[in-house]
Structure 1
Amino acid sequence: MTSYRAPLDETETDDLLLAAYRLASQKLLGSGVDVWSNSWGPSLWPFSLQDYQQAYLDVSRSVAEQGREGLGVVTLFAAGNARTERFDTADNVTDAMPWSIAVAASDQKGGLTSYSTPGAALLITAPGSDPRTIVTTDRSGSDGYNTAPGEAGNYTNTDESYFNGTSSATPT
């Protein structure tokens, strides 16, 4: 299983997001990756799905057909945390692709969380936390959520930095 860190934030353009997705797919096809975990989705940005849908489909299909010498790469995508906004996985090109698995988030008791985006594209659910309680390793130093000095800064440990949501459920 692998993931590639891409500079995904609100300042990225649609073209850069697609370019990062294409680059990651080329890297994983060249390295024999079995499982590709994506804790992001283009619905997080103002996105014109019609303009980019076919490009995402083409990349994902090639990963499914060419990966692992024709066996295909299992591609996972976070379903999103937009239940309260009434979004659906069908609204997100990466969740609705036939070549990816959309992952929902469950709460501490195994039920669906209050925020996990619903939809027919959902295949599996994994712990995503509700309330925010999942602790994980963090990027070291000032690049991470926890900027405490030394080893203490290599793990999330405050309410603001818990790793939760469908982004947490997907790699789990």
Structure 2
Amino acid sequence: MEKNTKKGPLLYVSQTFLNTPVKNNQEVFTTRQEVQLPIEEPQLEEEKEKKKVFEVSLAKTDLPKVSKKKEVKEEIKAQTNQEKQRNFNRVKGFKEMNLIERLEYLANFPKALPPVPCVYYTEEKNYQGYLVEYNEQEITIRIPNQKTETIPVKNIKDIIMIGIRR
């Protein structure tokens, strides 16, 4: 009987590790700061020539340049404040609107949304329904039984929005 002895691998591949692997890690980084350049006003050739004269003349004449820059900065601040005010105009609530504004709001209601039912108060009767048409003299309302009623605008006392039904 033969003895089984462990032998080494039958195929040996010689691999030499003389060089160690190179690491590709980032070691240094830089950031770029944004620099705001001053706003330059368009200058005519005459102004450029005057500027050259001012540069040669006494320092007292340089003061108007500084005041012009301050005025420009103040104008820019005023313009940005006006733009901010335009962006934050508050929209009136339906309850705060007067009768004509309410009718115009309902007439120009977005088509993507379902129409809003309202109660239209007159001296004789109250109408509940959807505004179908509005012109300066009269409005047309679609009441729940799919009939339409035409009411003169001068007879309407108040409009209350009921809400969107789901």
Specify the TM-score bucket, using the shorter chain as the normaliser. Answer: under 0.3
User: Structure with the greater relative contact order (CA < 8 A, sep ≥ 6): 1 or 2?
Assistant: 1
The structure with the greater share of residues assigned to strand is 2
TM-score (norm 2): 0.21
Q: Whose radius of gyration is greater, 1 or 2? A: 2
Which has more helix, going by share of residues? 1
